[in-house]
Structure 1
Amino acid sequence: MTSQCQTLITGGRVVDPRHHIDEVLTIGITDGRIVHVDSEPITAAHTIDATGFVVAPGFVDMHSHAQNEIGHLLQAYDGVTTSLELECGAAPLNRTLNAAAEEGRALNYGYSASWLLARMMVMEGMDSDQVARLPTLPLEMFSAMQGSGNWAKPASEEERRAIIELVSQQLDDGAIGIGVLLGYAPAIDSAELHALARLAADRNTTLFVHARYGAEIEGHTAHESVSELVELSESTGARIHICHFASSNAGDAKKSTRVLSDAIDRGLPMTTESYPFEFASTVIGADFLSPEILRSNSTPASTITYLPGSEQVSSYDRLAELRAQDPGGLCLIQYYGPDLPVGVDELISTLSFPGAAFASDAMPLTRLTGGDEGKPFPTALPVPPGYAVHPRSGSCFIRAIAWLHRDTGLMDLSDVVSRSSDIPARILARSAPSFEAKGHLGVGADADIVIIDIDTAVPRFEPAPVTTAVGVVYLFVNGEMLIENRETTETAVAKGGRALLATASVAEQAGTQ
C-alpha cells in the first residue's frame, strides 16, 4: 500500500464482488489507477466523503448501441464507465474508431468485428467510396442498409470467404470478438455460421450472438436457437455469448435456460446477458417483426410502438406500411406484462440465471415526428424536447439496483453489482487482456468507480422526454471525475474515454487516449 494518493474516497460502503468485499473502506486513486484499499485513510490531495453511499466498480456494459456523445452521457448517469458495441460491432473498425476519437467520448469504448455489416458490404457489392458515405455509428449504418435487398440472402462460397476475410481484418485491427446479428439474417446457412465460429476459435476470441429465432417465429422455438449455438460451440470450440437472453427467449425461457445451463455444466464456454425491462427496441424493418410472422403466432401488432411517431401500431396492415416507409425506424416491442402471455415473473427468473451479466442494449436517440429536422442531434445534456429513446439506454443498471435489490430484495446488492461489473469484465478478459483491470476495485485496477445513493435512485421508464436516471453521485473514468455531486464536470467536456482494443496489453491501454 502507498502512503499518499491524488484522490481518496472515504466513508462509503465498498461493494467489490470479485474480492468478496462489502464494508466501509477507503479507496485511493493516483494516475488513473487504484493504489489503496484499506480501512485506514492515507494522505490525499483531494478527499471525497462517500458516507451513506455505495462505492462500486464502474459498470461494464457489453451491449450498447448508443455509441455517440449523448449516448455516453446518458449511460454515465447509469453508472457505466465502459460502453461497448459487441452485438452488432463495427466494420470497418478503424473508420468507426477514428470517428469516435475525433468527436471524443466520455466513457471507455470498444467494438467487436461486425459480421452483419461485413456481410452487407460484400453482398451488396459496395466499394470503398460507398462504404465511406455510410454513417460511422454502427447501428445507424445498419439502419441505413435496411432497404437493401441482398444482404440477408444465403451467400455463395466465394461471398462467404470474402465475408470471413473482412471480419478477420477487423480482428487484426483490434476488434473485441465478433458480433453476430444472426436474428436479422436467419436465412444464412450453417456453413457460414460454422466458418465464423472456427475463425473465433482460431483467433481465441468470442462470438457475441443475437440468436437466429425468437419465441415468436412460426415453426421454430427459441430453445432451438440456443441448441444451435450449443452445438456450434461444441463442434468448433468457440466461445459464445448469447445477447439479451430474456427478450430473445420470452415465452420459452424455461426450456432455453435448461439447454444453456446443461451446456455450461458440461464445460462449454458459453455466457449470456439480459436487461431488466419488459420491452425491447430495434428497427421496425427487422425480419422477425414482419406482419406475417406476428400473425402466424397470434402476436398483436399493438405490441409494437413506432418510436418516431409515438404510435402504437394498430394493425398488421399499418405495420406493413411503416416497415415500407421507414424500415430503419426504431420501435419498442412489449414482451412481458400482466396483459401478455408472458408474465414479469419469467423475466425475473431469466435475469437471475447464474453467471449472467446485465447489459443495456442501449439505443441512440431518435427524433420524434414533427421535430425540427434542421437541428443537429444533441451532443450534451440536457436532451431537449423532441427526442425519444428506450429507457434502458440510461437506466439499465440503476433499474436493476432499485428494482431487483432495493425495492424487492430479489437479489443481494453484491449480486447486482457483480452482474454489472465483475461478470462482464471476466467474460471480456478472455478475449481482451485489458479487461483484467476492470470490473473490480483491487489495487492496480483501473480507477473506473461509481458512487451511488441507493436510497434516492430513480430509473426512467418512459421513452420521452429523455432524461437521466437519478442515483449516481460521483463517477470516475480512468481516475478522472466525470460526475461530481450528481452533476457532470469538465471531464465530460474533455471526453476522456479511451478506445479499448483486444490486441492491447494493460500497460499499452493505459497510455491510449
Structure 2
Amino acid sequence: MTARKAWRAISTVAVFLASTTAAFANDVVILNGRVIDPETGLDAIRNVGVEDGRISAISEFPLEGDTVIDATGHVVSPGFIDLHAHGQSIGDARMQAMQGVTTQLELESGVLPIGEWYEDQAAKNLPINYGAAAGWTFGRIATFDNTDPLATVAFFQDAQAENDWKMEIADQDQSTRILDLVEQGLREGGLGIGINAGYAPGYGQKEYFALAELANEYGVATYTHVRYASVTEPQSSFEAIKELIANAAITGAHMHICHINSSSLADIEATLSLVEEAQARGINITVEAYPYGAASTVVGAAMFTGPGWRDRMQSTAENFQLGDDRMTEEELEDYQANEPGTFITWHFLDESKPDDLALLDMSITHPATMIASDATFWSYFDEDGTIQTYTGDEWPLPDNVFAHPRSAGAYAKILRSYVRERGLLSMSEAIRKMSLMPAQTLEDFVPQMRRKGRLQVGMDADIVVFDPETIADRATYENANQTAVGVQTVLVNGGFVVRDGSLILDAPHGQPIRREIIE
C-alpha cells in the first residue's frame, strides 16, 4: 500500500469513528432542519449535534442525544449577533432572545468604567452573551464635570442638561484625561471605542483623530454615531461620514459606522457610495443599519438644538413620539428645557411612502451593510409622570413599559419583510448579515468571535431554530411590548434559552465577550 493510500484509509476510519462517536455522544440533537452556514455556503437538510457547549456534529446521517429537537420545516441558523444594543438588563436580553439573538453588545455608546460594568452584568445571570466598548462620551462627561464616570444609563441621561461636554473643544488637560479614561477601558477588556459623536458634535477634529490613533494602537475598532445627521451642508451627514473615512485612511484604524440609515436620512445613496469607495481602496470601514424609519434618542440631543435644526433634520415636533403619542411643539419645548434626558422615538422616514421605504431598503440590502438593532431601554412612567428605565426581571415585561419596536423585532422583521414577504434578501444573505458579518467585524481583536456566527463543528453552540413561514415581529410604535413569534429554539453556549417557542426563565447561559485584560 502506498503512503497516500494508507493516509486515505486512516482518514476514512477517523471520519467514521468521529461520526460514530458524534452519533451517540450529544447533549442536544437538532434533526431534519434546513441548516444554513453563511461562511461555508452550506444550505441543506442536516442533523446537528451539540456537546459541552460546542457544535459536535453536522451530519446527513442520524444522530442521537439526550435531548432531541425536531426541526422539520425549520431553518437552523447561527444565533444572531447584535453589535448595537443599549438595553443590557435581563428583560432586554429576553426580548432579544425571543427573536433569535444570542449575543448583544453595547458598542456605539459603550460604557465606563468597563471592569465595573462587566462585574455588574455577570451578577444578572443573563440568558445571552454580553459585552461593551469603552465609552468616549462617558469619559467626556466625567472630564467636563470633574467627576468619575459611572457605568449607568442615568449617568448619560442626567448629563443631557449640560452643554459643555457636547459643544466645547477640550483643552490639553481635558483631552489627556478623556483619552486616559478611554484607554483604561481598553486595558480592562473593552471591545473597542464607542464614539457617540452625534451627542457631542462640538468635540473638534483633533480629539476624534486621537481616538482613531488610540484604536489603531490597541488593534481595535471604533464604533461611531457620526457627529452630524443632516441633508444640508455644511455639517451634513456626508461630511461626517467622510471625516470618519479620512481618519480610518490616515491612521489605519478599523472604524465602524453605526446606523447609517438614521445618520444619513434621505442622503443614504451618497453616503453608501462613500463607503463603497473607501472599501474598494482597502480602507477598513464596516457599516450597520436597522430596518425601521424611526430612531430612538433623547429629546435634548444636540442635533435637535440650534438655529435651523428642523430644516437640517427634516423634522418638526410631529416627528417625535413619546409613549403612544406624537409630541406638540409646546411639549417638545417643555421636555427639552426640563427633561432633556427623556427617550423619544424620532420618525425620520415614513415607511408607508414608497420613496422613503426605498431609501430604507437601500441601507438594509446593500452588500456591505450588516444588521444591528440599536435596541433601546424599556421605560415606564412613574407615579410622578417621570420616565424611568425598567431593569426588573418580570416576564412577560410589565404592561406599562414601552420602547422602540426594534428592541423586540429588528431581526424578526428582516426575516418577515425582507426575506419572506418582499423577497429583497435571500435567506442565506439575511442570516449572513445578522450573524457572520457581525462576528467578522470583531474577530481580529476579539478571539471569542471566531467561534460565533457560524454553524460548523467546533463552533460555539449559539443556535436559533425558526419557522421561515411564521417568524414575524409584532412590536409596533404604538405597542412595542410584544415578543417576536416563530422562533422554536434558541441555544446559547449549548443551553436552552427558548424551547418550543417559550422563554426559559432560569437560563443563565450568557457569557462575557471581552478582550484580554491588560494589567
TM-score bucket (shorter structure) = over 0.9
> Quick one: which of 490, 499, 502 aligns to 2:512?
499
> Quick one: which of 319, 343, 354 aligns to 1:303?
319
1:415 aligned onto 2:429: yes
Q: Residue in 2 aligned with 1:107?
A: 128
Which residues of 2 match residues 61-460 of structure 1 at below 5 A? 61-127=82-148, 131=149, 134=150, 136-137=151-152, 139-152=153-166, 153-216=168-231, 219-290=234-305, 292-297=307-312, 299-307=315-323, 310-315=324-329, 317-337=330-350, 343-368=356-381, 377-460=391-474
Q: Residue in 1 aligned with 2:75?
A: 54
Deviation at 1:141, TM superposition (A): 2.7
* Amino acid aligned to 1:344: L
> Quick one: which of 5, 12, 19 aligns to 2:40?
19
* Amino acid aligned to 1:324: A
Deviation at 1:371, TM superposition (A): 8.4
Deviation at 1:47, TM superposition (A): 1.1
* Amino acid aligned to 1:497: G
* Amino acid aligned to 1:394: A
Residue pair 2:169, 2:203 contacting (<8 A) in 1 also: yes
Deviation at 1:97, TM superposition (A): 1.1
Instruction: Report % sequence identity.
Output: 31
Seen in structure 2, the aligned counterparts of structure 1 residues 465 and 211 have a Cα distance that, compared at 3 Å, is closer
Write the distance in 2 (CA, Å) between the matches of 1:281 and 1:173.
Answer: 29
Q: Residue in 1 aligned with 2:29?
A: 8
Residue pair 2:377, 2:389 contacting (<8 A) in 1 also: no
1:45 aligned onto 2:66: yes
Runs of 4+ in 1 over 6 A off after TM superposition: 371-376
Deviation at 1:271, TM superposition (A): 0.3
Structure 2 residues not aligned, in runs of 5+: 1-17
Residue pair 2:231, 2:264 contacting (<8 A) in 1 also: no
Deviation at 1:111, TM superposition (A): 0.3
Return the TM-score normalized by structure 2.
0.91
Deviation at 1:318, TM superposition (A): 3.2
Write the distance in 1 (CA, Å) between the matches of 2:188 and 2:194.
Answer: 15
Structure 1 residues not aligned, in runs of 5+: 506-513
Deviation at 1:24, TM superposition (A): 0.5
Q: Residue in 1 aligned with 2:54?
A: 33
Write the distance in 2 (CA, Å) between the matches of 1:217 and 1:186.
Answer: 16
Q: Deviations over 1:146-175 (max 9, x none)?
A: 123432221001110111111001101100
The alignment covers a number of residue pairs equal to: 493
Write the distance in 1 (CA, Å) between the matches of 2:400 and 2:418.
Answer: 31
Secondary structure of the 1:219 match is coil
Deviates more, 1:424-433 or 1:148-157: 148-157
Write the distance in 2 (CA, Å) between the matches of 1:337 and 1:281.
Answer: 15
Secondary structure of the 1:151 match is helix
* Amino acid aligned to 2:315: T
Write the distance in 1 (CA, Å) between the matches of 2:341 and 2:112.
Answer: 18
Seen in structure 2, the aligned counterparts of structure 1 residues 142 and 217 have a Cα distance that, compared at 3 Å, is farther
Seen in structure 2, the aligned counterparts of structure 1 residues 23 and 306 have a Cα distance that, compared at 3 Å, is same
Seen in structure 2, the aligned counterparts of structure 1 residues 229 and 349 have a Cα distance that, compared at 3 Å, is same
Larger Rg: 2
Write the distance in 2 (CA, Å) between the matches of 1:209 and 1:375.
Answer: 24
Secondary structure of the 2:455 match is coil
Q: CA RMSD of the aligned region, Å?
A: 2.1
Deviation at 1:494, TM superposition (A): 4.1
Write the distance in 1 (CA, Å) between the matches of 2:498 and 2:58.
Answer: 21
> Quick one: which of 483, 486, 493 aligns to 2:501?
486
Seen in structure 2, the aligned counterparts of structure 1 residues 429 and 504 have a Cα distance that, compared at 3 Å, is farther
Residue pair 1:216, 1:294 contacting (<8 A) in 2 also: no
Residue pair 2:188, 2:517 contacting (<8 A) in 1 also: no
Deviation at 1:30, TM superposition (A): 0.5
Residue pair 2:405, 2:480 contacting (<8 A) in 1 also: no
Residue pair 2:215, 2:253 contacting (<8 A) in 1 also: yes
Seen in structure 2, the aligned counterparts of structure 1 residues 241 and 105 have a Cα distance that, compared at 3 Å, is same
Write the distance in 2 (CA, Å) between the matches of 1:116 and 1:90.
Answer: 8
Residue pair 1:216, 1:293 contacting (<8 A) in 2 also: no
Secondary structure of the 2:35 match is strand
